Amino acid sequence: MCGIAGFLRLDSNPPDSDLLARMTRAIYHRGPDADGYYTDGPVALGHRRLSIIDLSGGAQPMSNEDETVWIVFNGEIFNFQALRTELEAKGHKFKTRSDTECIVHLYEDYGTGCAERLVGQFAFAIWDARRRSLYIARDHVGIKPLFYHLDDSKLLFASEPKAILEDESVERELDPDALIDYLVCKYVPAPGTIFKSIRKLPAGHWLLLRDGKLRIERFWDLPLAEPRAWKSEEDCARQLEELIRSSVKSQLMSDVPLGAFLSGGIDSSIVVGIMAGLVNRPVKTFTIGFQEEEFSEAPFARKVAERYHTEHHELIVEPESVDLFPRIVQQFDEPFADASAIPTYYVSRLARQHVTVALSGDGGDEAFGGYVRYQWALRYGLFDFLPQSVRSPIFRAVAAMLPEGRFRRASRRFAMHRIPRYAQLAGHLDGPSLQGLLAGDLRAAAMRRQEFATTCDVARRAQNVDYLTQLQYIDVNTYLPDDILVKTDRMSMLNSLEVRVPLLDHRVLEFATSIPPDWRLAKRIFKRAAGHLLPPELLHRPKMGFGVPLRYWFRGNWGDYARDLLLGQRARERGLLDPAAVRGLLERQSDERGGVTSNLYAIVVLEEWCRQYLDQPQSARSG
């Protein structure tokens, strides 16, 4: 687990070694153990290393035998031993025990097709001196990040935007569409970023720059074929357990201390249960809790820790974390309003005091239909057999006759098309609410856009499958790579901790799509496959999620901080948000009328981000 950065000049100017050093230094936290640099003609490659495998011999940048192919790599390849055996049989010579070297030789044989052969979490850049080309790839699901900037003179790439922003010629102009997407989704979906000048390489894609021409192609997507005809649930569950166990086992490889996040939910508990059966020492487990019991799963995590006799560590997060908030905002480099980043930071910091690698249960909900919103979406789809032209006016009329409350809200949702309905259930901001929050040109731009545009665009790629699979496809292509995995990557890397996600082995996701939807929903088959690893009270309790008690925190110093930030002169002069709408959110929050906490948190993040990235000079942010 590391950080990479670099650039390829497209003009006659030589690489700027000072820029490469600044870019690499900006992501020091991703790899504090060592740095490395390589330049050749127009290309410059930089690397920050967090040593995990082959501690003495895995330094990067790394090359093939004749130094015509060079790589910088962030991540882990879990099938590298099998690949190494195959490559050695073909005559390739290895100088190290590192998984990085396998990618170099795999590229020599398969070119741009090499990413398809990898099992792991990765982002890497390969300079091919013979072809004078730069090849960049990002893993199937988007566990590892990759950003780039392209103009007439150069392509820059890095693990985090802050490294690209070290080049002062890269403009910091806001992308209005990205800002609107952020307020709708609470994150900026790929391939955009908050900056017009910087892009994300989407999950499962590679990029090739040769002869000044840029080519981007997708090498993996979640399969959308018909489910398999299984002999029985038992047969399906047995094969699933074997696959998950194999994934966990492959991800235990490490030359440094290793542990696991233990939230108290089903996914992380199953990962810990499998780990405990595969290692010959107590698993080190790490849990975050809250004083507010309704948000804390720590008691359930303790039960799992007791069952498997883990070396358990627990921390209760206090509302004083507002003092940490500006640092968290800075780490994301663009507005990011998933408040569970706060406990993710704390659990990563706690884990890093004891281990260098931690396994996580991320991905179980997306793979196995665990979100409660999937169940609600299916219930609201009860009348979707009626044409939209018939259903919508009927239920809008019903809603108009009902008093404000849950029955009226339900009638409105019955009237909606099923994709915007799902976006609303996922907590996305609808058109009228968004337009009321924005000011000036941004409001006009929002009025011209399709409501829930990002969700609808992705849904169109999965029109010919059942509704549940379509919803999971949406999340695997948006919420998972652009929220869940971003949060885990930035907060763990801020603490120089590697996090691995065995439930997001792409083969596990492919297997999950072969399971009939009714077996998948609410993790039915997942629980059958691995439920024997859990205490019964954990297996059948309602899902909590990784919630944060923000509404309580906003009653204290968070509320004071939000008012000072949002009602200050700088925020008013910025002109992005409607001042009356902002005051309304603050008043509703202080009156405890509810329903506004996530939106309030999003605009607090936005204003704090603007102050750091738009109001301060680059030198101040870098310091």
State the catalytic residues: 2
Tokens linked to 208: 């090739």
Instruction: Yes or no: say if 500 and 359 are a contact pair by the CB < 8 Å rule.
Output: yes
As a CATH number, domain 233-369+475-539 is 3.40.50.620
36, amino acid identity: G
For residue 358, give the 3-state DSSP assignment. strand
Q: What beta strand segments (E) does 41-107 contain?
A: 43-49, 62-63, 69-77
Q: What parts of the chain have a pLDDT lower than 50?
A: 622-623
Query: What is the pLDDT at residue 51?
Result: 75
> In 3D, which of 161, 147, 196 has the Cα closest to residue 175?
196
392 vs 68: CA distance, rounded Å:
62
For residue 520, the model assigns a pLDDT of 96
Instruction: Give the model's pLDDT for residue 114.
Output: 98
Which CATH number does 2-218 carry? Answer: 3.60.20.10
| Residue 393: Cβ-neighbour burial (10 angstroms; 0-12, 13-18, 19+) | exposed
Residue 515 structure tokens: 């399971």
- Looking at residue 543, its pLDDT comes to 73
Query: How far from 366 is each of 247, 274, 363, CA to CA, in Å?
Result: 17, 20, 5
- In this prediction, residue 594 carries a pLDDT of 64
pLDDT, position 231 = 94
Q: Residue 91: left if φ>0, alpha if ψ -120 to 50, beta else—which one? A: left
Structure confidence at residue 54 (pLDDT): 63
pLDDT of res. 467: 96
Q: Where are the domains of the chain?
A: 2-218, 233-369+475-539, 550-622
What pLDDT was estimated at residue 35? 93
Residue 96: Cβ-neighbour burial (10 angstroms; 0-12, 13-18, 19+): middle
